[in-house]
Amino acid sequence: MLVFPNAKLNLGLYVTAVRPDGFRNLESVFVPLPWADALEVLPAAGPETTLSLTGIPVPGDPATNLCRRAYELLRADFELPPVQMHLHKVVPIGAGLGGGSADAAFALKALNDLFALHLPAETLEGYARRLGSDCAFFIQNKPVFAYEKGDVFENISLDLTGTACKVVYPGLHISTAEAYSRVTPRAPRHELRQALAQPLETWRDTVSNDFEDALTPFYPMLGEIKQALYAAGATYASLSGSGSAVYGLFPGQEQPPQLELPKEYLVWDGRL
């Protein structure tokens, strides 16, 4: 079975409180971004479960790769045969695009389908929450208002389908834990669902990401990319999640414009 774990963008992100478990409560809107890895999951030819990797190198021991952890989590509850998995990594890591979380969630969905476990979305979301705060979003993979740890969702009627978008990753791996440690929780600046219900032209003044304010003084390139996106005609631009990817939205355009950027930056151009 071949699946394509896609990334996500955060439209606005407020870090609102430290929780008793040490994690933070947040408020954000998550939308799928069609920049994707490729993940193949097959019954193993031999007795061992294996994971092979190509594409962007994934830091850490492959035994702790989130695809592998997704398999082990289900195997603890179901009689799964060994599998052979192959992940071709395309989405940059430590980018605020949720790429690792997507791999984990798509691995759960692929195993559910491959072995006809018939687990409903809510059950898969429960497993996904155990692998990471962002993971559960990718089970249903549709725009949602996310709160608590970013793993509880409310449906929203926001349709950005077809909107031209440019995502710029400056090659800077910001760990999520480091990013959270730099943010002081505070009350949301605006009611996010109300702000996003207004025309996209107004978002620049009302929709913000607390990580952007906290991280830009340490990484000025984040502010420079955002300014370049606005100078190129973006209607809205922001850091995604805890960074370091910055995106611009160009509604009404066929494709986002070309930008002069350092050669080492990774850029995704497309439509949502």
Which amino acids are annotated catalytic? 8, 134
Comparing CA positions, the residue from 170, 143, 176, 177 lying closest to residue 247 is 170
Distance CA 271, CA 131 (A): 29
Instruction: Give least dist CB 221 to ligand ADP, A.
Output: 17
Site string for ligand ADP, 165-194 (x = CB under 6 A): ----------xx------------------
Q: Which residues contact 86 (CB under 8 A, 6 or more apart)?
A: 39, 40, 51, 52, 53, 54
Residue 87 or 229: the one with the smaller Cβ distance to ligand ADP is 87
Determine, following the binding rule CB under 6 A, whether residue 23 of this chain makes contact with ligand SUD: yes
Q: Which of these ranges, 78-86, 159-167, 175-183, 184-192, lies near ligand SUD under the rule CB under 6 A?
A: 175-183
The site that binds ligand ADP (CB under 6 A) totals a number of residues, namely 20
Task: Say whether 84 sits in a helix, a strand or coil.
Answer: strand
Which strand (E) or helix (H) includes residue 266? strand 266-271
List binders of ligand ADP among 230-269 (CB under 6 A): none
Tell me 58's DSSP state.
P
Instruction: Give least dist CB 133 to ligand SUD, A.
Output: 3
Interface with ligand ADP (CB under 6 A), residue from 3, 11, 66, 139: 66
Residue 137 or 250: the one with the smaller Cβ distance to ligand ADP is 137
Sort residue 263 into left (φ over 0), alpha (ψ -120 to 50) or beta.
Answer: alpha
Q: Which segments within 157-253 are labelled E, that is strand?
A: 164-169, 236-239, 246-250
46 is in an annotated binding site: no
- Cα radius of gyration rounded to whole Å, the chain: 19
241 is in an annotated binding site: no
Distance CA 240, CA 249 (A): 12
Question: Which of the listed partners (ligand SUD, ligand ADP, none) does 210 bind, with a CB threshold of 5 to 8 Å by partner kind?
Answer: none
> Which residues are paired to 267 by β-bridges?
168
Instruction: Say if residues 190 and 207 touch (Cβ distance below 8 Å).
Output: yes
Interface with ligand ADP (CB under 6 A), residue from 58, 119, 135, 192: 58
Q: Which of these ranges, 18-26, 63-71, 154-162, 219-227, lies near ligand SUD under the rule CB under 6 A?
A: 18-26
Q: Which of these ranges, 52-60, 214-222, 229-237, 256-264, lies near ligand ADP under the rule CB under 6 A?
A: 52-60
Binding region for ligand SUD (CB under 6 A): 10, 23-24, 26, 28, 96, 98, 101, 132-135, 149-150, 176-177, 180, 241-242
Q: Which amino acids are annotated as binding site for ATP, given as ranges?
A: 92-102
